[in-house]
Amino acid sequence: ISNRSLTERIMLVFYAGNKSQDSGIAEMEELPVPHNIKISNITCDSFKISWDMDSKSKDRITHYFIDLNKKENKNSNKFKHKDVPTKLVAKAVPLPMTVRGHWFLSPRTEYTVAVQTASKQVDGDYVVSEWSEIIEFCTADYSKVHLTQLLEKAEVIAGRMLKLSVFYRNQHKEYFDYIREHHGNAMQPSVKDNSGSHGSPISGKLEGIFFSCNTEFNTGKPPQDSPYGRYRFEIAAEKLFNPNTNLYFGDFYCMYTAYHYVILVIAPVGSPGDEFCKQRLPQLNIKDNKFLTCNEEDGVMVYHHAQDVILEVIYTDPVDLSLGTVAEITGHQLMSLSTANAKKDPSCKTCNISVGR
């Protein structure tokens, strides 16, 4: 159903649906009940739906009633909110029918859907079939198209580029002791948490190691404060980021704050992480982008990062501690800056796109 045809041909209605005469909608068994419902072409904010029907009284069908709810609310006849419809009344169009985000569909969210056939009467009331069986499905992650929209928004506020020389990772002393004792001195990739955009295809799927690279404006060095622990592993930038690695844009978000985060992924060329990102994320030119660059000048690799966003860099391969140094920082542990499983502000106009949150 196109947006235009929705404006012209579709109306949203609220009703309790409990065979109530008060609603002006009567039940009538003669209308065929949809069965064998199929959901296909699922995106982060749309899907196609089709079903089978008995031929009896099929020619009387004028409309379809589609009831959609988040899975945690399985009662198809109750409102999610008084101002948010759960039911779509659509003219009987050929199947499959495309349903777009008119319920503000969210990405990576489980929903239930059920269908009725209906016949509109002269007085404006409907006679309807019984509800079909309830089908469950899950919306998809952001596609590359959606991530490119986020990328373009992030580029607007990235700011000028500042020099950097190291990547760093803050943790507690116990973390580094554990790495030395149980992992042969090599930090291991782990699955990314659910912080950031709800539709991000890397959350809960991409394995990597988080690094920071932002510097203080006045010193050109990493800040001495950290929310993640008082011990810091520092590694020369060229050991993680060089012409043998690819760079990808992963996410752009904020947490009800004035500052914004950009997630970038660095993956050695041809590695499993590189193959994962190549299929799902926009790739950046390592020499020319708005966030993190790597260029050779007079035989030396020179690195720059964006000043006005906080970069979170995920490196997708193990990293040996012997490639850098571990030392205690002198600053404070600012827990308020932690992004662990942080929820994105869905109302921010700077870092949201016009699809489900």
Residues 163 and 119 in one domain: no
CATH number at residue 99: 2.60.40.10
Q: CA–CA separation, 345 vs 355, rounded Å?
A: 14
Residue 340 located in a structural domain: no
Residue 150 located in a structural domain: yes
What pLDDT, on a 0 to 100 scale, did the predictor assign at position 335? Answer: 54
Residues 179 and 119 in one domain: no
Residues 77 and 220 in one domain: no
Residues 129 and 265 in one domain: no
Residue 290 located in a structural domain: yes
Extended strands (E) in 165-230? 166-171, 186-187, 190-191, 207-212
| CA 21 to centroid of chain Cα atoms | 42
134, with CB counted inside 10 A (0-12, 13-18, 19+), is: middle
| CA 69 to centroid of chain Cα atoms | 20
Residues 245 and 180 in one domain: yes
User: Residue 168 in contact with residue 226, Cβ under 8 Å?
Assistant: no
Residue 12 located in a structural domain: no
Residue 27 located in a structural domain: no
- Provide φ and ψ at 141, rounded to 5°: -75, 170
Instruction: Give the closest residue to 156 by CA, choosing from 290, 259, 288.
Output: 290
Residue 19 located in a structural domain: no
Q: Which domain holds residue 57?
A: 35-139
How many domains in the chain? Answer: 2
Residues 191 and 119 in one domain: no
Torsion angle, alpha carbons of 48, 197, 7, 87, to 10: 60
Residue 184 located in a structural domain: yes
Compute the half-sphere exposure of residue 314: CA atoms within 13 Å on the CB side of its CA.
25
Residues 197 and 109 in one domain: no
End-to-end alpha carbon distance in the chain: 21
What pLDDT, on a 0 to 100 scale, did the predictor assign at position 283? Answer: 98
Residues 182 and 317 in one domain: yes
Residues 130 and 193 in one domain: no
Residue 218 located in a structural domain: yes
Residues 208 and 112 in one domain: no
Residues 164 and 311 in one domain: yes
The per-residue pLDDT string of the chain (357 residues; one tens digit each, 9 = 90 and over) reads 444 333 333 333 333 333 333 344 444 448 899 999 999 999 988 899 999 988 877 888 899 999 988 886 545 444 444 434 567 888 888 899 988 865 578 888 899 999 999 998 888 888 898 999 999 999 999 999 999 999 999 999 999 999 999 999 999 999 999 999 999 999 999 999 988 888 899 999 999 999 999 988 777 788 877 778 889 999 999 999 999 999 999 999 998 888 899 999 999 999 999 999 999 999 999 999 999 999 998 889 999 999 999 999 999 999 999 999 999 888 665 555 556 667 788 888 899 887 754
Categorise residue 325: left if φ over 0, alpha if ψ from -120 to 50, beta otherwise. beta
